Amino acid sequence: MSTGAVLAGFRVESLIGEGAMGAVYLAEDTKGGRRVALKVLAAELARDDRFRQRFLRESQVAAGLDHPHIVPTVASGEEDGVLYLAMVYVDGCDLRELLRRHRRLEPERALDLLGQVADALDAAHAAGLVHRDVKPGNVLVTETADGEFAYVCDFGLARHVSSVSSLTGERGFVGTIDYVPPEQIEGGAIDGRADVYALGCVLFECLAGQRPFERESELSVVFAHLNEPPPRISELRPELPEAFDVVFATALAKSPDDRYSSCRELIEAARAASRGKVLARRKRRRPLVLAGIAVVAAAGATVGGVLATGGASTTAGPPEITQTAIDGARLGLPAASYDRLFGERGRKDVFNMPQFNVDIFGDRGLSAYFDQGTDRGIIVTTWNKNFRTAAGIGPCSTIADARASYGSAFRPSSHSTIKGKVYAYLLGRNLVFAANGKPPHPSKYVTAVALYDGSAPGADKPGGTVAYAGFVALSETNCR
């Protein structure tokens, strides 16, 4: 864009930087005169329908984040086919530039800056948003009267630019793989502990002056994230207490369950380590999930009963996912009924191919899709990992656990099978479980669940209800 050009009410002043995702401009809000950092995404991204829909949806979620250490999103959207994200302009440098200048930081300074970052990330996690691209380039630092002040930026792009496709696609996104957790590489379930891993990598670099897995090729870096233990930082900086080795062994654990449960807990452990102390990790309480449809069969349950309820009950209350409803939301209701059911007004959006209206209830991790002719709910989806069938299967469950629970009743959908790779599974007549991943690698996890009317005429034919429900589920937000 040229100087003086106006996009979505922002007048371009100068180019700040550009890369594979697009360009960043210093711009002025023509209404209020405020200076903003205007990110204009590459044209090929705007032409990708799936990317565009997710960007528009999740940038709205990011705009709702209100935290002193998160760069506020001023506006985002699409104008004349151009995707943009406008953020408050921060006059300073990023952490990458600080590391270029100093190579490494002393523990007190590193922990002060990253402690602010940790608070911002935990606040985002509490709002249901995982950054997924925590790296020095996304941490802005400015000087204030009280010292250095850190901001986290790019929440509106996080989900997209650090997906598995970022590691293998044409654009490459150089640098991201140095901080990416194993489950993100594998296309598995992602939650806040992915950001804990990435923040651990950034802290390691701040203290050691090098990334934890520096290798000659990107493939070697990916392999190290998946298979190699983190180096002992006490061998790189002998003057640091050995307690730091425990911190990084925990923060960079391959399994999310073995990591710190929050970014703040990581920083607290690192502060203790700087004093030579090892802080015990707080254990996460995990629900017990029993897999065993055979137990139900032995008790004399019929196949119909298993499918109607989802299997043997392992939850304290009634299951949120059944053959007739998700979180109490049945099909066929008007939009106002879903608003009343969830006590909030769903954010309105449009789902392409075809143009179906959708209401998104972000707090519930649930969406309702509506028929154009009657404005009645025809599909309900969820990516909420707390929602389960009676057998304990739902978003973020492994496909292996689902198979173990349901056996042959958990069957591949022919409409979502590509070159022998299964991307969605059917359960009973009305449920589809998506395993969204970049071809040719379906996810090992259930990424979303969709409820649809499998009894509709021609439901199982190409282009019918089953195929469309699978398409919607695979296009939905992945579980978190």
Residues 237 and 311 in one domain: no
pLDDT per residue as tens digits for the range 82-96: 999 899 999 899 999
Residue 40 DSSP class = E
Structure tokens that stand for 294 in this block: 């055979």
Domain count along the chain: 3
Query: Cβ contacts of residue 431 below 8 Å, gap of 6+?
Result: 321, 323, 449, 450, 451, 452
Taking alpha carbons only, the member of 67, 65, 1 closest to residue 38 is 1
Of 243, 274, 305, the residue at which a domain comes to its end is: 274
**Number of CB atoms found within 10 A of residue 172's CB:** 13
pLDDT band, residue 285 (cuts 50/70/90)? very low
Could you tell me if 122 and 79 lie in one domain? no
Residues 132 and 190 in one domain: yes
Question: Average pLDDT in the 409-429 region?
Answer: 91
Q: Residue 306: its pLDDT value, please?
A: 32
User: Is the residue at 62 inside a domain?
Assistant: yes
Cα separation, 179 vs 161, whole angstroms: 13
Q: How many residues does the chain have?
A: 480
Average pLDDT rounded to a whole number, residues 48-54: 76
Neighbouring residues of 90: CB distance < 8 A, sequence distance ≥ 6: 37, 71, 140, 142, 151, 153
Residue 228 gets the label, from left (phi > 0), alpha (psi -120 to 50) or beta, of beta
Across the strands, what pairs with 321?
A: 326
Specify if 24 maps to a domain.
Answer: yes
Same domain, 210 and 153: yes
Residues 400 and 431 in one domain: yes
Helices (H), 275-377: 293-298, 303-309, 335-342
> 349 catalytic, yes or no?
no
Q: Smallest Cα–Cα separation from 332: which of 424, 449, 456, 474? A: 456
Distance of alpha carbon 460 from the chain centroid: 31
* Rounded CA separation 402/434 (Å): 12
End position of a domain, from candidates 88, 118, 148: 88
| Inter-helix orientation angle 243-251/263-274, to 10° | 170
What is the token pair recorded at 132?
A: 């997924």
Q: Are residues 315 and 393 in the same domain?
A: yes
In a domain, 26, yes or no: yes
Q: Which of 113-122, 292-301, 350-359 has the highest mean pLDDT?
A: 113-122
112 assigned to some structural domain: yes
- CATH number of the domain within which 469 lies: 2.60.460
Q: Are residues 262 and 246 in the same domain?
A: yes
- The amino acid at residue 361 is F
pLDDT at residue number 354:
55
Give the whole-angstrom CA distance, residue 2 versus residue 317: 59
Catalytic residue among 94, 119, 122, 133: 133
Does residue 138 lie within any of the structural domains?
A: yes
180-207 CB burial, b ≥16 within 10 A, e <16: bbbbbbbbbbbbbbbbbbbbbbbbbbbb
**Do the Cβ atoms of 158 and 115 come closer than 8 Å?**
no
Q: What is the pLDDT of residue 280?
A: 76
Residue 157 pLDDT level (bands cut at 50, 70, 90) = low
- Choose the weakest-confidence range: 44-53, 113-122, 209-218: 44-53
Tens-place pLDDT, residues 308-351? 333 333 334 578 999 999 998 999 888 888 888 887 766 776 65
Let me know if residue 303 belongs to a domain: yes
Listed in sequence order, the residues at least 6 apart from 16 whose beta carbon sits closer than 8 Å to its beta carbon are 24, 25, 26, 37
Q: Which residues, other chains included, contact 45 with Cβ-Cβ below 8 Å and sequence gap of 6+? A: 21, 22, 51, 52, 55, 83, 160
Residues 107 and 223 in one domain: yes
The residue segments making up the domain with residue 306 are 293-475
Nearest alpha carbon to residue 430 among 451, 456, 413, 406: 451
Q: Please give the backbone phi and psi of residue 352, each rounded to the nearest 5 degrees, phi first.
A: -75, 165
Q: Is the pTM higher than 0.85?
A: no
Q: Is residue 280 part of a domain?
A: no
Share of the chain above pLDDT 90, in %: 48
- Rounded to an integer, what distance in angstroms lies between the CA atom of residue 278 and that of residue 270? 9
* pLDDT confidence bin for 108, thresholds 50/70/90: very high
Pairing of strands 377-382, 448-451: antiparallel
What does the pLDDT average to over 20-42?
88
The domain that contains 241 carries what CATH number? Answer: 1.10.510.10
**What CATH code is carried by the domain that includes residue 58?**
3.30.200.20
Same-domain pairing of 44 and 188: no
* Structural domain contains residue 132: yes
* The pair of three-digit structure tokens given for residue 185, joined into one six-digit string: 């590489």
Same domain, 353 and 435: yes
- Contact, 387 vs 449, CB < 8 A? yes
Do 320 and 214 lie in one domain? The reply is no
The three-state DSSP-derived secondary structure of 252-292 is: CCCCHHHCCCCHHHHHHHHHHHHCCCCCCCCCCCCCCCCCC
For residues 66 and 69, give the distance between their C-alpha atoms in angstroms, rounded to a whole number: 9
Write the DSSP string, 395-419: TT-BHHHHHHHHGGGEEE-GGGEET
Q: HSE-up of 326 (CA within 13 Å, CB side)? A: 35
- Output 140 or 343, whichever has higher pLDDT: 140
What pLDDT is stored for residue 287 in this prediction? 37
Residues 339, 398: one domain? yes
